Amino acid sequence: MRRQLVTGGAGFIGSNYVRHVLAHTDDAVTVLDALTYAGNEASLAGLPPERMRLVRGSITDAALVDSLVADADVVVHFAAESHNDNSLADPSPFVQTNLVGTYTLLEAVRRHGTRYHHISTDEVYGDLDLDDPARFTEATPYNPSSPYSATKAGSDLLVRAWVRSFGVRATISNCSNNYGPYQHVEKFIPRQITNVIDGVRPRLYGAGLNVRDWIHVDDHNAAVLAILERGRIGETYLIGADGEKNNREVIELILTLMGHPADAYDHVTDRPGHDLRYAIDSTKLRTELGWTPRYTSFADGLADTIDWYRGHESWWRPMKAATESKYARTGQ
């Protein structure tokens, strides 16, 4: 039985990854999560205690991290501060978690010779023009535009340096925007879904023409497991499912799928530095590792996600009021 240490495993993508690992392998998982507002112990409810344990703590706690890495065969690093709006309001937690936390993990896996996989984002590449046919590849230069994406870019570069300088056995994946179950209601898709459930008109930044390349979280995590098992050490793999949609299209599809007029939303002032377009070329991942997404239809994946939020109000309701109160203070 392989032992995985999953940081941030009570968060959105991390908790779905833990569920994916337990369903598709014989591995045992230790989750290390600080259980900040974005981490939720309820996201791991019902998992077998003989194969999954949760440790509450910070990835910046060197002694704790070292003790957990010493008992692991593999470290998969999801833990991150990841909300762009929050990074604009206060960058300091992003520096601590995304940079200092990654450094702490790298030093631990270096000491113990442990295999390491680093989860990152396509936002490290900046953005593309709306009419640009190009997509991000593993060779695209980094050009981050927010404190969040800058600290994630820095963490990627730390991993690359530790591979080259110290021989750490690591891989990196940069993924497009995820959607699916267990995503915090501050994020774009679950916020719109839960607003519609509550009878509140969705709100759209600016004209809503900003494009994101959407991927269902289950497809992302299947790719991560493929990289962990078959990826080449020192390599970076981009994970994407050809799901480019602008934000207006997404809101209108949510409204349509939930039985409302497609134009039943309001526009609000755009976010400062709002990236125009992300798009991922996942040819390397598909060619080398044979991965393909299961959700090839964004509408089907979104319909499943809507059904999940409708059926799991007890999971998201406790965080909804505080989230909307925070947005109300900024007029968004």
Distance CA 47, CA 22 (A): 8
Q: Is residue 89 part of a domain?
A: yes
Counted domains in the chain: 1
Q: Is residue 206 part of a domain?
A: no
Distance CA 170, CA 163 (A): 6
Residue matched to tokens 């396509």: 122
- In 3D, which of 50, 110, 35, 109 has the Cα closest to residue 76? 109
Per-residue pLDDT, 332 = 64
The tokens describing 102, both together, are: 């990654």
Neighbouring-strand partners of residue 246? 211
- The values of phi and psi at residue 48, to 5°, are -65, 125
Domain CATH for 81 = 3.40.50.720
Q: Is residue 172 part of a domain?
A: yes
Neighbouring-strand partners of residue 236? 172
Q: For residue 330, is it left (φ>0), alpha (ψ between -120 and 50) or beta?
A: alpha
- In 3D, which of 99, 38, 25, 104 has the Cα closest to residue 66? 104
Per-residue pLDDT, 71 = 98
Per-residue pLDDT of the chain (332 residues; tens, 9 = 90+): 899 999 999 999 999 999 999 999 999 999 999 999 889 999 999 999 999 999 999 999 999 999 999 999 999 999 998 777 788 889 999 999 999 999 999 999 999 999 999 999 999 999 899 989 999 999 999 999 999 999 999 999 999 999 999 999 999 999 999 999 999 999 999 999 999 999 999 999 899 999 999 999 999 999 999 999 999 999 999 999 999 999 999 999 999 999 999 999 999 988 777 788 999 999 999 999 999 999 999 999 999 999 999 999 999 999 999 988 888 877 66
Q: Is residue 321 part of a domain?
A: no
Q: Is residue 19 part of a domain?
A: yes
Distance CA 99, CA 278 (A): 23
Q: Where are the beta strands (DSSP E) in 130-176?
A: 170-175
Q: Is the pTM of the predicted complex or chain greater than 0.85? A: yes
The tokens describing 288, both together, are: 């080398």
Per-residue pLDDT, 82 = 78
Distance CA 228, CA 287 (A): 16
Per-residue pLDDT, 273 = 73
The per-residue b/e assignment along 227-241, b for 16 or more CB within 10 angstroms, e otherwise, is bbeebeeebbbbbbb
- In 3D, which of 301, 49, 44 has the Cα closest to residue 182? 44
Q: Is residue 260 part of a domain?
A: no
Per-residue pLDDT, 87 = 86
Active site residues: 122-123, 148
Q: Is residue 143 part of a domain?
A: yes
Q: Is residue 117 part of a domain?
A: yes
Structural domain containing residue 114: 3-183+215-242+278-295
